[in-house]
Amino acid sequence: NAGVTQTPKFQVLKTGQSMTLQCAQDMNHNSMYWYRQDPGMGLRLIYYSASEGTTDKGEVPNGYNVSRLNKREFSLRLESAAPSQTSVYFCASSWGPQPGDTQYFGPGTRLTVL
């Protein structure tokens, strides 16, 4: 039981390049989330998927797109990376979208955009 896994763990991009961050969970959770963590700040929600087939914007969605590929997988895409997107990205999942459902986090991806 791996929980929430993320690939890659580290990535360096040049400005304007694109890439996709992958996330998968094996807990049969319905809801999945993408957060970013910047120095001196807490995590901020980028996008979330309450259930398979649905996605919604979070607090900081600009410059990102997401795909809920199936129940297990939720990917985050940067179409044209910018230095402001240098951050640590976390994927999380929960049983449902209810406020009381505990979110379980992946190990994070450290992304640097030069």
Partner 1 sequence: AQTVTQSQPEMSVQEAETVTLSCTYDTSESDYYLFWYKQPPSRQMILVIRQEAYKQQNATENRFSVNFQKAAKSFSLKISDSQLGDAAMYFCASVAGTASKLTFGTGTRLQVTL
Binding site for partner 1 (CB under 8 A): 31, 33, 35, 40-45, 48, 50, 56, 58-59, 88, 90, 92, 94, 96-105, 107-108, 110
CB of 63 to partner 1, least distance (A): 19
CB of 43 to partner 1, least distance (A): 5
Ranges of H-type helices in 24-87: none
Please tell me what DSSP assigns to residue 62.
T
Residue closer to partner 1 by CB (options 14, 42) is 42
- Residue 13: beta bridge partners? 113
Taking the alpha carbons at both ends of the chain, their separation in whole angstroms is: 36
Please tell me what DSSP assigns to residue 85.
G
- Residue found by looking up tokens 């970013």 in the block: 36
Residue closer to partner 1 by CB (options 14, 62) is 62
Residue closer to partner 1 by CB (options 17, 86) is 86
Cα separation, 75 vs 24, whole angstroms: 8
CB of 34 to partner 1, least distance (A): 12
What the block records as the tokens of 11 is 């990535």
CB of 92 to partner 1, least distance (A): 8
